[in-house]
Chain A
Amino acid sequence: MKVKENNSLELKNISKLYPGTIALRNINLSISGGYIHGIIGKNGAGKSTLINIISGLTYPSEGLISINGKEYPRLSRILSKKENIAVITQEPQLVPEHTIVEALFSPNYIQKNGIINWKKMKEKSVSMLNSPLLKKIKGKRAIRDLTISEQQLLLVFKAINLEGANIIILDETTASLTQDDQNLLYEFIINQKNMGKSIIFITHRMQEILDICDKVSVLRDGELINTISTKNLNMGELSSYIIGDSKLAEIDSTDRKKTKKKISDETVLQLKDLSKMGDFMNINLEIKRGEIVGLAGLRGSGRTELFNSIIGINNFDTGVLKVKNVEKKFKSPSEALAGGIAYLPEERDREGIVNELGVMDNLVLSCLKKLCVFKNVGIIKDSKKRDLAKNLIKKLSIKTISLDQKVKDLSGGNKQKVVVGKILSVMPDIFILDEPTKGIDIEAKNSILNIIEKDLSREAGILITSPGLGDLIKICDRIIVLLNGEIVEEVESNKFNENKIYLAMQGKINS
């Protein structure tokens, strides 16, 4: 094979530590020109950290990055650009007000003494817009007129043709592309590969890896499991690499059944034909008191949108939502809370905690009404507040110096425990948990899963999503698979099979 020495990238013993977690452990990866190199792994496997290190957004804690033989202990964004590495992120980073011409050239305008030569840029752009990748954009004016899909194509084109990138990272770029545009992109990058450039292709979809990548590296829990040629690889084999030893998961789930408690007959949450245009369609779901229902689905499958509609951040268009057999339509989370639904949001720092407040104040935020001196008088009794907070800290084993330590100074896992503690204090009928185990280390994860199973589900029904299917399999009584906003599969706990569910999430149901 033709290996071009000048477009190679090598990671030597790269590790990345975050407070309380190891995001990457001793990664050795070599990427060479003339190949499309796929990287795949579950959420939290370390893909984004790896990409951030290569593109210079974060520094590795240990190890070396070697580009064309030059070794760097760390890269900055500028250095990475200088070495002709380009990243196309999931969300296109463009200024909506820019015209197509400006977007193509910015920030490297054609200029003389600081004065921009618009005429020349316009002339140059004419021939560019004839490229097959940009043919749909032709005739449109500003970035705001383009679809996300078209913006992504523009960025890919710009990175390669205008900025002269030799190593191109496509970070789940295809997730936001239409089918047509995907094919255009495939064609384009295969072309680039043949010209000797390196393409790093990150995706969730196994089919893409098999179809267009030459090699694939599989990440799991921060470790590089394997780098294999895709020539003789099939999907089953690949998924077993991604998921790991699936037997282990089965043992876990049978283990659990022994300690299984009884699920009551009372339905606490019922969704009937719930739909919202563009987000989800005809969702039918019943959750009983004491039942844990897992919602599996890739990013963009509509799970967060569904949650937001249930708890009143957004509305839904049609369908019926019943809490304990009473029809409800919440207008805000505070109404949902009063109606018996507590919600744990996905983005901990942005939605879950108040950084400047202490641990205690965060824990009791949702249930201050219960802590009053008298009923219906808004004066809080300190001793009640303190007792509740102490109880929760003990129950969740939150590591904190004092009740008043600011939450921003806690580790990620402990922050997450505070968020769990906050909704636990409410004692609702239904818990809606959006990725409660996201981005935390294994120990914190297990203790949170334990609490969900033992404490949260005792008196309430639970609807939960998780970055890893393993978590769902461990604690759920039922798993529902969501794909493109519709329920495509429903599996009872005695028929859990991680491989099968994973395939269903990808839209491949083979029964």
Chain B
Amino acid sequence: MSKFSKISLWLIENMIWVILLVYVVINIFVTPKFVTYGNITNIFYHSSVLSMLVLAQGLVLLLGYMDLSIESTLAFAPVISVLLLVKYIPWITPVGAIVLTLLLGCLVGAFNGTMITRFGINPFLQTLSLLIILRGIVIFLLPVSIFEFSDVYSAPGALRTIFNIPVAVFIMIFVFIIFHFVLNKTIFGRHLIATGGNNLSAYISGVNTKRVVFITFVISGLLAALAGLIMAGRQQAVTNAMGDGMVFESFAGAILGGVSLKGGVGKVSGMLGGVLLLGAIDNSLNLLGINVFLIYASKGLLIFVAIVLDQAKVKLKNYIYYREDMRRFKETKEIAGV
């Protein structure tokens, strides 16, 4: 393969980072105060919540499924935990409440996973129903917001460490490194990708595909709860509207990051790139003083662009392979001709 084709392929594989780089460079000139230490930290900080959802959605998309319920889990897990902490059973302690939050996330995921693997319910419908059910429960239990709860509970989202970097940013980076490792170096990760790439083939090859699906949904729930924990800390409150509408951004981030809707294709690093691009766009438009509703519309546009890019990528790749084939074909003909 020629060097040019190799580089092109690599760029297509990591397209998101190229786009991100271009976007940042443009903004250096266009947006005032975009490249300052404070603002860059801010972009990361603001991305931390969405990044967990994108990772959750990305992993489920890798399976070839989707999880709509994550944005409601994001609200459900911290709201229940904080309610218990401040109202009903204060003896669970803030640390206990953090553990409970994450456990509730796992539980929601386990419910999704059980229904999908054991009862064969369509993942779209299963998670759609939970999206509505959980949001309803949250609004019922918490008609008003809770502002005062333990500093310990809000630490993951609020605390700042050295160089004024929030803990949440470290959590985000840590989680992404963990899942990069899980996906590439563990049996579970390889089984996940094989199951998403060809469920039947993986099943016949001896992969316990149902278990893989179940665990992935549990992870998805866990990550959604972690997102909720960070968000609660960041806004120093739990509200019943937490995470409303974020599921769409989770799709946008994952697809921008190169995750295919068909399953089996995608990288954790790409998902991070997708989140950061969304964060950077949101941030720059804000700095430029663009109307909030236009920013909202631009996110819709991004989802559209992401899908088109996904298609264009496949076409481009095929074209490069085709050109390579033709080149080799011609070479063999020339050799034969001599």
Contacts and interface: CB of A to CB of B under 8 A. Distances in A.
Interface string B202-219: 111111100000000000
B206 A380 contact: no
Nearest to B206: A337
Contact of A354 (B187, B202, B208, B321): B202
A385 to B, nearest CB: 9
Given A345-B204, A355-B198, A380 B187 contact: yes
B200 A350 contact: yes
A382 B264 CA distance: 20
B185 interface: yes
A196 B203 CA distance: 52
Contact of A332 (B185, B186, B194, B203): B203
Contacts of A351: 200-201, 204
Contacts of A337: 205-206
Contacts of B198: 350, 353-355
A150 B254 CA distance: 49
A339 to B, nearest CB: 10
Given A354-B264, A379-B185, A409-B321, A343 B190 contact: no
Given A354-B198, A357-B264, A334 B208 contact: yes
A382 B206 contact: no
For A332, A342, A355, A356, which residue has the most chain B Cβ atoms within 10 angstroms? Answer: A356
Given A378-B186, A378-B188, A380-B185, A354 B206 contact: no
A477 interface: no
B207 A361 contact: no
A85 B177 CA distance: 60
Contacts of B208: 332, 334
B188 A357 contact: no
Contacts of B197: 354-357
Contact of A378 (B187, B203, B204, B207): B187
Interface in B161-213: 185-188, 190-191, 193-194, 197-198, 200-208
A414 to B, nearest CB: 15
Contacts of B336: none
A368 B198 CA distance: 17
Contacts, number: 77
A343 B197 CA distance: 19
Interface in A326-349: 332-334, 336-338, 342-343, 345
Contacts of A288: none
B22 interface: no
A372 to B, nearest CB: 7
Contacts of B200: 350-351
Contacts of A361: 190, 193-194
A276 interface: no
Interface string B91-123: 000000000000000000000000000000000
B203 A356 contact: no
B204 A365 contact: no
B205 A380 contact: no
Nearest to B200: A351
Nearest to A348: B201
Nearest to B203: A333
B206 A334 contact: yes
B206 A366 contact: yes
A356 B206 contact: no
B265 interface: yes
A378 B208 CA distance: 14
Contact of A379 (B186, B193, B203, B264): B186
Given A354-B264, A356-B264, A365 B186 contact: no
Contacts of B193: 354, 357, 361
A313 interface: yes
A353 B187 contact: no
A227 B28 CA distance: 77
Nearest to B207: A334
A336 B202 CA distance: 14
A369 interface: yes
Contacts of A355: 197-198, 264
Interface residues of B, number: 23
Given A334-B208, A368-B191, A353 B201 contact: yes
B7 interface: no
Contact of A365 (B1, B202, B265, B321): B202
A382 B184 CA distance: 10
B204 A333 contact: yes
A251 interface: no
B185 A357 contact: no
B117 to A, nearest CB: 12
Nearest to B193: A357
A24 B129 CA distance: 54
A313 B202 contact: no
Nearest to A371: B187
A376 to B, nearest CB: 11
B259 to A, nearest CB: 12
Nearest to A382: B185
Interface string A398-434: 0001000000010000000000001000100000000
A423 to B, nearest CB: 8
Contact of B205 (A333, A356, A401, A409): A333
Given A356-B197, A401-B1, A365 B187 contact: no
A509 B125 CA distance: 55
Nearest to A409: B321
Interface string A369-390: 1001000001110100000000
Nearest to A313: B204
B277 to A, nearest CB: 24
Interface in A293-344: 313, 332-334, 336-338, 342-343
Contact of B207 (A357, A365, A409): A365
A352 interface: yes
A366 B202 CA distance: 8
B92 to A, nearest CB: 32
Contacts of B204: 313, 333, 343, 345, 351-352
Contacts of B202: 354, 365
A352 B201 contact: yes
A400 B197 CA distance: 20
Given A354-B264, A356-B197, A372 B203 contact: no
B203 A365 contact: no
Contacts of A422: 205
A404 to B, nearest CB: 11
A365 B205 contact: yes
A380 B190 contact: yes
B190 A350 contact: no
A351 B208 CA distance: 15
Nearest to A362: B194
A333 B194 CA distance: 15
A451 to B, nearest CB: 18
Contact of A369 (B187, B205, B321): B187
Contacts of B188: 378
Contacts of A382: 185
Given A333-B203, A354-B202, 16 more contacts: A333-B204, A337-B205, A343-B204, A350-B201, A354-B264, A355-B198, A357-B264, A365-B202, A368-B187, A368-B190, A378-B186, A379-B185, A380-B185, A380-B187, A422-B205, A426-B206
27 contacts: A332-B208, A333-B204, A333-B206, A334-B207, A334-B208, A337-B205, A337-B206, A342-B206, A345-B201, A350-B198, A351-B200, A353-B198, A354-B194, A354-B197, A355-B198, A356-B264, A357-B194, A357-B197, A357-B264, A361-B190, A365-B205, A365-B207, A366-B206, A368-B191, A372-B187, A379-B187, A380-B187
Interface of B: 1, 185-188, 190-191, 193-194, 197-198, 200-208, 264-265, 321
